């Protein structure tokens, strides 16, 4: 099972409007509601890839209750393969299996889970984002999360720590969760930004997956190779920098690779990074080589940009893209 942690889960609302005009009134013509926060997005993609996933983090209040109902709807009522579908054929594109279950192990908090609102201009697809701050989490609730996390680590093949921190959670929270995972011997991927990323890296996670902005904020450099190497020196064993339409740069203990999609694609990049995390983690658990993991991550994230629904991926596009992702190995430079 793969564990994902989302400390600041969200009920994601998408509103379609003809065009967002500041200081005007808009009738929302189309609306959708789904469980969100980066780790929940990662779990949804892992489920489609056939990997059993457990999600933890915080949920509370009326919005938290709606989030959990929608999360329950993601899972098949009766798993079609109770033996587990953890390990599809290594290297192959996962077959079109039924989605694997996503298990809700969220910790209930007194505060209200936040909403995020994506207002999509129908003509252009351009999106305006409004994010509530999230509930104030108490010390007792954080202690309950730590207990739940330790229990879940015992059964986890890998763990992803994802997204922003809600109010009340100390900035070193991810560092604490990274250390527990390393103590438990569970590979840990950290996907956050700012000071929580800086502190988390110092606890030596197996992988981080920053984008160009997050890397620049961390290292002060916008030169991908320099910034990625700097991030490794700060403590991350492997750094997978996502470079948007240019693909990914992976600097790992085993080598350095650049992976690029066959072409630039039009679409909405929302959730592309979360799909990449799902690709990297599923590849790790399946024992794929770095080039195969990167192929999967790039194909998944490109297929997410192409999908008409933000954050979902287009399965046919994914399978078509997978063999066409270009991989280039770099000679390791002197450290």
- DSSP per-residue string spanning 190-251: EE--HHHHHHHHHT--SEE--BHHHHHHHHS---HHHHHHHHHHTT-SEEEEE-GGG-EEEE
**Is 137 an interacting residue with respect to a copy of itself (CB under 8 A)?**
no
Closer CB to a copy of itself, residue 193 or residue 289?
193
Interface residue with a copy of itself among 3, 5, 7, 119 (CB under 8 A) is 119
State the Cα angle at 214 between 192 and 36, rounded to 5°.
Answer: 40
One of 129, 333, 334, 335 touching a copy of itself (CB under 8 A)? 129
Ramachandran sector of residue 149 (left: φ over 0; alpha: ψ -120 to 50; beta: rest)? alpha
274 is annotated as an active-site residue: yes
Q: 7 forms bridges with which residues in the sheet?
A: none
Nearest approach, Cβ of 131 to a copy of itself (angstroms)?
6
Residues in the interface with a copy of itself (CB under 8 A) total 30
Which segment (61-69, 167-175, 223-231, 322-330) binds a copy of itself by CB under 8 A? 61-69
Site string for a copy of itself, 15-34 (x = CB under 8 A): x-x--xxxxxxxxxx-x---
3-state SS track over 48-105 = HCCCCEEEEEEEEHHHHHHHHHHHHHHCCCCCCCCCCCCCCCCCCCCCCCCCCCEEEC
Annotated catalytic residue, options 191, 274, 312, 314: 274
Among 131, 217, 221, 309, the residue binding a copy of itself under the rule CB under 8 A is 131
Interaction site with a copy of itself (CB under 8 A): 13, 15, 17, 20-29, 31, 62-63, 65-66, 115, 117, 119, 121, 126-133
For the annotated catalytic residues, the residue numbers are 274
């Amino acid at each position: 099972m793969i564990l994902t942690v989302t400390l600041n889960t969200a009920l994601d609302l998408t509103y379609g409007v003809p065009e967002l005009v500041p200081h005007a009134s808009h009738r929302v013509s189309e609306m959708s509601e789904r469980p969100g926060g980066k780790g929940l997005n990662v779990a949804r993609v892992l489920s489609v890839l056939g990997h059993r996933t457990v999600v933890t983090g915080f949920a509370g209040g009326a919005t938290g209750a709606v989030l959990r109902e929608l999360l329950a709807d993601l899972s098949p009522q009766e798993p079609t393969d109770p033996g587990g579908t953890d390990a599809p054929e290594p290297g192959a594109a996962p077959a079109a299996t039924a989605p694997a279950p996503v298990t809700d192990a969220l910790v209930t908090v007194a505060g209200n889970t936040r909403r995020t609102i994506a207002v999509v201009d129908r003509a252009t697809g351009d999106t305006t984002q409004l994010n509530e701050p999230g509930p104030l989490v108490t010390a007792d609730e954080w202690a309950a999360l730590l207990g739940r996390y330790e229990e879940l680590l015992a059964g986890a093949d890998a763990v992803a720590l994802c997204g922003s921190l809600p109010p009340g959670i100390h900035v070193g929270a991810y560092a604490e969760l990274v250390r527990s995972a390393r103590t438990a011997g569970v590979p840990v991927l950290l996907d956050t930004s700012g000071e929580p990323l800086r502190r988390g890296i110092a606890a030596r996670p197996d992988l981080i997956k920053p984008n160009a902005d997050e890397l620049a904020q961390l290292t002060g450099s916008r030169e991908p190779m320099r910034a990625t190497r700097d991030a490794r020196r700060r403590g991350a064993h492997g750094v997978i920098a996502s470079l948007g339409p240019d693909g990914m740069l992976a600097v790992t203990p085993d080598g350095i690779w650049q992976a690029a999609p066959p072409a630039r694609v039009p679409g909405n990049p929302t959730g592309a990074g979360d799909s990449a995390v799902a690709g990297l983690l599923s590849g790790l658990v399946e024992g794929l080589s770095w080039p195969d993991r990167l192929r999967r991550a790039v194909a998944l994230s490109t297929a997410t940009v192409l999908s008409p629904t933000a954050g979902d991926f287009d399965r046919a596009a994914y399978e078509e893209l997978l063999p066409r992702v270009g991989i280039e190995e770099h000679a390791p430079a002197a450290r």
